[in-house]
Amino acid sequence: MSEDAEWEAPAGSWASSAARRRNMQAIRSRDTKPEKLIRRLVHAQGLRYRVAARPLPDLRRTADMVFRPAKVAVFIDGCYWHGCPDHYVPPKTNPGYWSAKVLRNMERDRDTDHRLRAAGWLVLRFWEHQPAEECSLMVCKAVADRRTRPDKSPC
């Protein structure tokens, strides 16, 4: 098939066209601009952390930043993929698939929060559109508070 020919998605495929498939595959799942900016600001404050790490070894989910000794997990959520109440716009192409995908992401986020909190972790979630300076200050304060807590029991 030539490059000019219209590509048709196989039955049951998640991509509605070859161009859409390329576009979706190019979207980063880590090291996004908002993540990198917040990480840079937190690092400049002297805090060290793990990037894209599992807070709990038996949980197959990663946080964007993990502060293990303080038990703080930071997530910077994309407005589209995580269903931001201010910016999420339902897709026009293949809406059934993509809307269900975003809903599953939101459910997984809530489940992750619940599991981490049950294990004594503090979960911080930020939207990609939130000012990085504010996010980094909140992260630094939370980590400092958790490090100086006299009792290390779960919150």
100-138 pLDDT per residue, tens: 999 999 999 999 999 999 999 999 999 999 999 999 999
Domain that holds residue 112: 33-148
Q: Does residue 131 sit within a domain?
A: yes
Q: Does residue 154 sit within a domain?
A: no
Per-residue confidence (pLDDT) for residue 9, from 0 to 100: 44
- Note whether 126 and 72 are within 8 A (CB): no
Q: Does residue 23 sit within a domain?
A: no
Kindly tell me if the per-residue pLDDT of 11 is higher than 60: no
In angstroms, rounded to a whole number, what is the distance separating the alpha carbons of residues 148 and 51?
23
Q: Does residue 14 sit within a domain?
A: no
E strand spans, the chain: 50-53, 63-67, 72-77, 122-127
Q: Does residue 94 sit within a domain?
A: yes
Q: Does residue 121 sit within a domain?
A: yes
Q: Does residue 28 sit within a domain?
A: no
Tens digit of pLDDT for each residue in 74-106? 999 999 999 999 999 988 888 898 899 999 999
What's the mean per-residue pLDDT of the chain?
86
In angstroms, rounded to a whole number, what is the distance separating the alpha carbons of residues 126 and 103?
18
CATH of the domain at 105: 3.40.960.10
Count the domains in the chain.
1
Q: Does residue 7 sit within a domain?
A: no
